[in-house]
Amino acid sequence: DNVEWSEEQEASARSKVQENSSQLLPQDKQEEYEVNAKRYWDDFYKIHENGFFKDRHWLFTEFPELAPNRKPSQNGDSVHEFSNEEESSNEGLGSCENGHCSLETRAENQLNLIKSTPQVCTEELATQKHSELNQSDGDYPGSSASYRILEVGCGAGNTVFPILQTNNDPGLFVYCCDFSTTAVDLVQNNVEYDSSRCFAFVHDLCNDQSPFPMPDESLDVVILIFVLSAILPEKMQCIVNRLSRLLKPGGMILLRDYGRYDLAQLRFKKGQCLSDNFYVRGDGTRVYFFTQDELDELFTTAGLEKIQNLVDRRLQVNRGKQMTMYRVWIQCKYRKP
């Protein structure tokens, strides 16, 4: 756990990234991936909707702000006690399909207990509904709650359902949104979905005219788990600014995402790089690999103060295939003054 890299390992990783970044995709191709981003993520969730679920044992250890007896960390360096059960299983280790390494796919798409046919959920209807809700002063989903959490990029319910299952606080209300209509359909049609405690909606983070169902300064926590990395780098600051405005004073953004030189970055081939440390997978979805400084600048520019910003390096061994793999993640907590 939290393996220190040697200078040789870092130099080797840097060399691989230089090699796979030497040939950028033509601009017209890059624009095509941006224009069709929603369709690619819809297709991703259609393909992976039967993915298996493994408990995120680390979720409440690393982010106690999500647990029933909330004890927000005041010391960012002390929280680093991952249970590795979820991320160390040998099953499928080292396999990559369509550019999604099996482990990162688990991190992004671990929960699906779907037992009914997805219903139609259009972004237009959702947007109209949100606008109507916002026009009614003080009357919006979760308006009577005392503790409000928003997960951005909820996928099939990766984090939302464990929170609802674990946290029985009667004042809790959880919002969750995703760019993908398919993903939101999966959440809404999950047998665990409880509209009295949760509100799932389609939302395009990159469209600053796309409304949220809750007013500014109404949220205690915003969760970003393997989400910000899927967005065009030049749009990231605007998105973090918008999310910051939703937080109450004292509210926090919790992030876990891909770090520079992660296994997934090193495995990209020439011709998949869009710009520095930003790649397109074989299925059309995109991913960025962060440094701590980049994330710190995004959050502090949005007026937030650092509670935690750390790198988590993992050595994972597949004994069956005699492979060793290094995963690199970054975990952050930033608070609104």
Starting at the edge strand found earlier in the chain, the sheet holding 219-225 runs 198-202, 172-178, 147-152, 219-225, 247-258, 323-335, 305-318
Asked, for residue 188, whether it belongs to a domain, the answer is yes
CB 113 within 8 A of CB 191: yes
Contacts of residue 28, defined as CB under 8 A and 6 or more positions apart, other chains included, come to none
In one-letter notation, the amino acid at residue 177 is: C
CB 62 within 8 A of CB 331: yes
Question: Is 232 inside a domain boundary?
Answer: yes
SS3 state of residue 239: helix
87 lies in some domain: no
146-190: per-residue pLDDT in tens? 999 999 998 888 899 999 999 989 999 999 999 888 889 989 999
Q: Is 187 part of any domain?
A: yes
> What is the CATH classification number for the domain harbouring 293?
3.40.50.150
Please give the residue range of the domain that contains residue 29. Answer: 21-67+140-336
Residue whose structure tokens are 């017209």? 28
Question: Is position 59 within any domain?
Answer: yes
Instruction: Evaluate whether residue 80 is within a structural domain.
Output: no
Report pLDDT for 134.
Answer: 47
Residue type for position 162: P
Q: Kindly report, residue by residue over 106-128, the tens digit of the pLDDT.
A: 443 333 333 333 333 344 444 44
Confirm if 66 and 167 have CB atoms less than 8 A apart.
yes
Using one digit for the tens of pLDDT, what is the confidence trace for 270-304? 989 999 999 988 888 889 999 999 999 999 999 99
Cα gap 87→74, rounded to integer Å: 26
The total of structural domains in the chain comes to: 1
Could you tell me what percent of the chain has a pLDDT over 90? 46
204-258 pLDDT, tens digit per residue, is 988 888 899 999 999 999 999 999 999 999 999 999 999 999 999 999 999 999 9
Asked if residue 100 belongs to a domain, the reply is no
**Does 119 fall in a domain?**
no
Distance between first and last Cα of the chain: 33
d(CA 329, CA 311): 6
